[in-house]
Amino acid sequence: MTPVTTDLDARRIARIPSLAAALLLAVALLLAPAVTGPEALPSAHAQGCPDIEVVFARGTDEPPGLGRVGGAFVDSLRGQVGGRSVGAYAVNYPATFNFLAAAGGANDASAHIQYMMANCPGTRLVLGGYSQGAAVIDIISAVPFPAVGFNNPLPPNAPDFVAAIAVFGNPTAKAGLPLTVSPIWGGRAIDLCTLNDPICSGGEDVAAHSNYVPGMTNQAAAFVAARV
């Protein structure tokens, strides 16, 4: 039987793009007081089709690459997956204090994910991000429609390829929207926030925003290793 779309359904569907725009704006506002971490590590790039590919977005004001948190997470994951190969893609975006530019990172991450889906279908994908980079992952996992510069949403079959998501210092967690509550990604997501980190909680300890290595990066790597 053909499903019936009610007026209420239509109104809800029509609101989705505006809700997507609101999410992007909320991410920008929540990141406004963002703090920077220590020097980032250089990026590692996958060659060919690895068994596992991590797509990671660095935090605000870190130099291009995986960033300190991303580098530690990938290194820890490599030590927990036996002999399987782990590639890493550093999301290409400014990571500046213009937080609406996170949409550009979401476009880049989505493009790489879709490339891997098409060209390396046997590779298990892992998405990750730290601080503003976590917001990049929020955008591509929670916004299915174009909004505020995000114009490359993931296709509906992306969950068939993405095994796990790991984010650190996620600004939307402060708004009560960690990725763990996502109806699509919640069961395969870990959304970590250090005690009193002002970016992802109501705390006021600015230094806490840099305290994800090695404890929580190892924790996230163990979570992901169990799912890839």
Residues known to be catalytic: 131, 197, 209
Rounded to whole angstroms, the Cα distance separating 114 from 161 reads 10
| DSSP code per residue over 39-83 | PPPPP----S--SEEEEEE--TTPPSSSHHHHHHHHHHHHTTSTT
Contact assessment for residue 99 and residue 31, using Cβ atoms and an 8 Å cutoff: yes
Token reading at 165:
């998501």
Token reading at 118:
């098409």
Contact assessment for residue 29 and residue 137, using Cβ atoms and an 8 Å cutoff: no
CA 140 to chain centre: 8
Token reading at 196:
């009193």
Helix (H, G, I), strand (E, B) or coil at 29: helix
Contact assessment for residue 136 and residue 89, using Cβ atoms and an 8 Å cutoff: no
Rounded to whole angstroms, the Cα distance separating 84 from 28 reads 37
User: Which is nearest to 207 in space by CA: 30, 32, 35?
Assistant: 35
